[in-house]
């Protein structure tokens, strides 16, 4: 190979290696709090502040473009809304904003980012003088500025990312959860547990929901649940599913809800003062699978037959004990002739009188025999 | 002479190869020169919580939901259930150490939104429960209601070692004037802080009021992901 070709080859290899070193890409566009507090790890995900009436707090959101293309991203603030089941969500841009959506002022509403770059957009939060005590939630939305699908007919789908803004106006803070109900719904293939909890306080609560299902013997066969935020004044519902147990049977599901009851503890922190509520236990029956049902029926029949057999045997022994009498054996009697005479099985005579092979009996020997 | 040329050629090959190796490595690591030890440093910055609609090659794409055409009817009718996403076009969710207490994906529209034709002269509603979704029962003058069924969706991990721990579909429900957002997916606090998931097949259907005029109607829905 000539030197020139070699140089070209090596240069190409250099470009390839150097390119591979920088071409790592993670995720799409998104954001995160720019100034998280080291004392609360939750502030790495959402904005958390205590704010007095009329007070202004400064914050910032780091907008990231982790794609391989330049992106233009719109930013706007909206109120929070409750999604179905009580989950946290963000209001739409077209809805009137009456709460935190109006409290937030962004320094920029549009940023253009080259691939793998980010920019911090600062914003301020001002609590109005008439805000009520308790928690107020909103969102800062990041949405790529692009055309949605052509609207000839049908539904055009847009995508956006929201960052929760949780603001506490201090005062008489109330933290309280109530268990509303626990439903167990069954169909041909699965069981659906539907617990429901209501937050009657004025702050959101990070609750841990636990559903324990036990069999007739008290063994836990499955545990469902998880940690979820329940917003102030809202009812939250969940659905957890379990495939029907193959062997069926009776089961009991119990519900437990735990949360930190310390009113001074902010979101993302724990005081260790945990309250646990126990909900209603629900008993339910699950039909076994067809083959399992056959096996169980067969076992039942066998057990029943065995029971009958044992009962009959025990009853016979009881009758024998009560009615058979000690009788002297006459000359020329043997066990077979006695069996014939008293119309019983010779083996029964041997068993009752504990005779062993060759079952020889003597004249004058006293044996227990049926009455004449 | 010939021998010297060969040696010279070999030396050039070695030198050039060394340049390639060192140049390539410098794109991957930084070396700290010390008298007694060498330390390699690598910083990994946390990412963000993101969601996008992508095709099978994980290239961003747009999507829409369409229903089969219906004839004008003197009675209220419901479309067949259509699907948001498919096996080849899915919602991808990345949590790159951004949401450490779970996240929620919901779908919704502004409360006053309406299905409309191009000229906006003919409309019907998406969140009116009046007459079981068939008649007007809210502040606007249009009937109609949309149903979302997240339980019909396929939700799965998008990479290893992401798990499905704490990730579940929302319940099937309809939009109402009080609830213009439907939960599609919920991830509890115990779900993976770093993970990738994919989802598709969310059921969508719409009740159309009686005597709705013939037109091509369109509607906008927004899917939102937010850290809890």
pLDDT value, residue A6 = 55
Confidence at A152, pLDDT banded by 50, 70, 90: low
State how far the Cα of A162 lies from the Cα of A160, in Å rounded to an integer.
Answer: 7
pLDDT in the model for residue A8: 58
CB contacts < 8 A, A to B, total: 250
Task: Give the model's confidence band at A320: pLDDT under 50 very low, under 70 low, under 90 confident, else very high.
Answer: confident
What residues of chain B, 59 to 98, have a C-beta less than 8 Å from chain A? 60, 62-67, 84, 91, 94, 96, 98
pLDDT in tens, A93-133: 989 999 999 999 999 999 999 998 999 999 999 999 999 99
Angle at the Cα of A123 from the Cα atoms of A121 and A125, rounded to 5 degrees:
160
Residue B24: pLDDT band (50, 70, 90) is low
pLDDT of the residue at B22: 58
For residue B45, pLDDT beyond 70 = no
Q: What is the pLDDT of residues A321-331, one digit of tens each?
A: 889 999 889 88
Go through the domains of chain A in sequence order and give each one's CATH number: 25-146+158-169 (2.60.40.10), 177-287 (2.60.40.2360), 301-369 (3.10.350.10)
Mean pLDDT across chain A: 89
Tokens coding A14: 């250099």
What would the mean pLDDT of A203-227 be, rounded to a whole number? Answer: 93
pLDDT at A10 over 70: no
Average of pLDDT values for B205-224?
91
- Reported as type and span, the H/E element at residue B78 is strand B77-78
Contact A153 B217 (CB under 8 A): yes
pLDDT band, residue A150 (cuts 50/70/90): very low
pLDDT of residue A371: 86
User: A243: which residues sit within 8 A by CB, 6+ positions away?
Assistant: A189, A190, A191
What secondary structure, in 3-state letters, does A333-368 show? Answer: CCHHHHHHHHCCCHHHHHHHCCCCCCCCCCCCCEEE
Maximum Cα–Cα distance across chain A? 130
Q: Which pLDDT band, with edges at 50, 70 and 90, does A68 fall under?
A: confident
* Local confidence band at B34 (pLDDT 50, 70, 90 cut-offs): very low
Span of A12-21, B35-44, B155-164 with lowest mean pLDDT: A12-21
Least reliable range by pLDDT among A15-29, A306-320, B209-223: A15-29
Q: How far is A311 from chain B (nearest CA, A)?
A: 53
Q: Which of residues 97-136 of B touch A (CB under 8 A)?
A: 98-102, 104, 106, 108-113, 118
- Per-residue pLDDT, averaged over B94-118, amounts to 92
Minimum distance, in Å, between the CA of residue B132 and any CA atom of chain A: 18
Q: Are strands B49-55 and B89-96 parallel, antiparallel or unpaired?
A: antiparallel
Q: What mean pLDDT do residues B128-139 have?
A: 89
The answer to whether the beta carbons of residues A346 and A335 sit under 8 Å apart is yes
State yes or no: pLDDT of A203 exceeds 70. Answer: yes
Average pLDDT of the segment spanning A265-286: 93
Q: Residue ranges per domain, chain B?
A: 49-227
Average pLDDT, stretch B203-211? 91
In chain A, pLDDT over 70 holds for what percent of residues? 91
Q: What is the pLDDT of residues A270-279, one digit of tens each?
A: 999 999 999 9
> How close does chain B come to A153, measured CA to CA in Å?
5
User: Using an 8 Å Cβ cutoff, are B126 and B107 in contact?
Assistant: no
- Calculate the CA B77 to chain-centre distance: 30
Average of per-residue pLDDT across B89-117: 92
At A14 the pLDDT is 46
Rounded-to-integer distance, Cα A152 and Cα B216, Å:
7
CA distance linking residue A228 with residue B101, whole number of Å: 8
- Specify the pLDDT at position A22: 36
Nearest CA in chain B to A90: B224
Q: Is the pLDDT of residue A247 over 80?
A: yes
Residue of B nearest to A66 (CA): B47
Q: Token pair for residue A305? A: 């037959």
Interface ipTM > 0.90: no
Please name which of A337, A288, A269 lies closest in space to residue A37, comparing C-alpha atoms. A269
Of the candidates B218, B201, B205, the residue with the CA atom closest to the CA atom of residue B175: B205
Q: Which of the residue ranges A237-251, A357-371, B9-23, B157-171 would you say has the lowest mean pLDDT?
A: B9-23
Q: Inter-chain contact A156–B24, Cβ cutoff 8 Å?
A: no
């Amino acid at each position: 190979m000539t030197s020139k070709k070699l140089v070209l080859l090596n240069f190409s290899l250099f470009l390839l290696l150097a390119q591979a070193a920088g071409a790592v890409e993670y995720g799409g566009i998104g954001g995160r709090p720019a100034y998280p507090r080291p004392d609360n790890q939750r502030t790495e995900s959402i904005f958390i502040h205590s704010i007095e009436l009329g007070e202004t707090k400064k914050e910032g959101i780091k907008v990231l473009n982790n794609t391989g293309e330049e992106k233009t991203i719109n930013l706007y603030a909206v109120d929070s809304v409750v999604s179905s089941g009580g989950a946290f969500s963000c209001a739409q841009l077209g809805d009137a904003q009456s709460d935190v959506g109006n409290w937030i002022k962004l320094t920029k509403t549009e940023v253009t980012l080259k691939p793998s770059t980010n920019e911090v957009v600062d914003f301020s939060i001002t609590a109005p003088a008439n805000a009520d005590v308790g928690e107020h939630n909103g969102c800062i939305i990041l949405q790529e500025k692009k055309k949605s699908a052509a609207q000839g007919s049908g539904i055009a789908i847009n995508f956006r990312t929201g960052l929760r803004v949780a603001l506490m106006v201090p005062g008489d803070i109330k933290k309280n959860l109530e268990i509303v109900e626990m439903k167990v719904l069954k169909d041909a293939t699965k069981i659906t547990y539907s617990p429901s909890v209501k937050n009657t306080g004025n702050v959101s609560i990070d609750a841990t929901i636990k559903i324990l299902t036990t069999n007739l013997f008290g063994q836990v066969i499955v545990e469902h649940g998880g940690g979820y935020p329940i917003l102030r004044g809202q009812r939250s519902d969940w659905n957890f599913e379990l495939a029907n147990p193959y062997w069926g049977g009776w089961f009991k599901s119990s519900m437990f809800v735990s949360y930190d009851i310390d009113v001074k503890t902010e979101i993302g922190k724990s005081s260790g003062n945990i309250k646990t509520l126990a909900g209603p236990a629900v008993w339910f029956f699950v039909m076994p699978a067809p083959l399992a049902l056959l096996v169980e029926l067969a076992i039942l029949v066998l057990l029943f037959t065995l029971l009958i057999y044992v009962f009959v045997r025990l009853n016979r022994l009881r009758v024998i004990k009560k009615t058979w009498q000690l009788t002297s054996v006459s000359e020329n009697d043997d066990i077979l002739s006695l069996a014939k005479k008293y119309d019983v099985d010779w083996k029964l005579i041997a068993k009752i009188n504990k005779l062993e092979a060759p079952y020889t009996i003597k004249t004058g020997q006293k044996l227990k025999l049926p009455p004449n | 002479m010939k021998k010297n040329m060969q040696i010279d050629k070999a030396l050039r090959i070695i030198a050039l190869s060394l340049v390639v190796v060192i140049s390539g490595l410098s794109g991957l690591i930084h070396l700290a020169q010390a008298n007694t030890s060498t330390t390699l440093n690598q910083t990994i910055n946390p990412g963000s919580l993101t969601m996008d609609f992508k095709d099978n090659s994980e290239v961003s794409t747009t999507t829409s939901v369409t229903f089969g055409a219906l004839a004008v009817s003197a009675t209220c009718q419901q479309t067949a259930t259509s699907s948001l996403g498919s096996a080849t076009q899915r919602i991808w969710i990345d949590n790159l150490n951004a949401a450490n207490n779970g996240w929620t994906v919901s779908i919704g529209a502004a409360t006053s939104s309406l299905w409309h034709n191009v000229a906006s002269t003919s409309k019907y509603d998406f969140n009116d429960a009046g007459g079981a979704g068939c008649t007007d029962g809210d502040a606007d003058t249009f009937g109609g209601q949309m149903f979302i069924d997240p339980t019909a969706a396929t939700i799965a991990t998008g990479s290893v070692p992401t798990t499905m721990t704490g990730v579940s579909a929302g319940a099937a429900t309809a939009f109402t004037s009080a609830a213009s957002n439907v939960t599609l997916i919920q991830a509890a606090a115990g779900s993976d802080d770093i993970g990738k998931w994919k989802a598709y097949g969310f059921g969508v259907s719409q009740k159309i009021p009686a005597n709705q005029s013939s037109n091509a109607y369109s509607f906008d829905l927004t899917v939102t992901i937010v850290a809890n």
